[in-house]
Structures are given as C-alpha cells and as structure tokens.
Amino acid sequence: MAKNQRTPASVQIGQVLRELRKRDELTMHEMAAKLEVSQQCVSAWEHGDRAPRIEDIPTIARAVGQTPLWLARKMLDRLAGKTTSPLDT
C-alpha cells in the first residue's frame, strides 16, 4: 500500500493494534522495539496510513501474547463491523 493512503480497512486494523498496545501499557516506542520496526511504522499502522503486511501478523500476535489466528479474527471482526473490543477473547 502506498504511503499515506488511508482506507477504511487500514483505519480499522490500526484501531485494533492501538487498543492491544494500550491494553499492554506499551508506548509506541516499546511496541516498535518488540516488533523490530520503527516507531513511525507503528504510528502509521495505528493511524491507518498503512496496514501491516500479512507477514507481520505472526510477529504482532506474539508481541501482544496471542496467536496469529486470534489476531486475524479480531481484525476481520472489526472490518465486518463487529464492535467487540479486541481485548475480548
């Protein structure tokens, strides 16, 4: 996805990622260090300017203590308009 090309899907995915980071009381800098990406990358994901690559999902899931399947389902639920918090299991 091109830089700064915000889509409804990238915004929804970003909201999930932000909620999970805040649940774990991590700063963007701390999350970026766990994911081995820049803080700017985490910020772009959370603001919906970019979406993580599918290859990033397992790393993100591990960083928040979940499985890739759990994270993918939470993202898909959000995209489908389900309003449950990603913190719900």
Question: For the segment 34-65, what is each residue's pLDDT rounded down to a tens digit?
Answer: 999 999 999 999 999 999 999 999 999 999 99
Do 79 and 72 touch, CB atoms closer than 8 A? Answer: no
Look up the CATH number of the domain holding residue 52: 1.10.260.40
Residue 1 lies in a domain: no
Residue 85 lies in a domain: no
Instruction: Name the residue range of residue 41's domain.
Output: 8-77
Give the amino acid at 45: W
Residue 69 lies in a domain: yes
Residue 9 reports pLDDT greater than 90 = no
* Number of domains the chain contains: 1
The one-character DSSP state at 24 is T
| For range 80-85, the mean pLDDT | 72
Do 88 and 22 touch, CB atoms closer than 8 A? Answer: no
d(CA 85, CA 37): 25
Residue 34 lies in a domain: yes
Report the predicted TM-score, pTM, of the whole model to 2 decimal places.
0.82
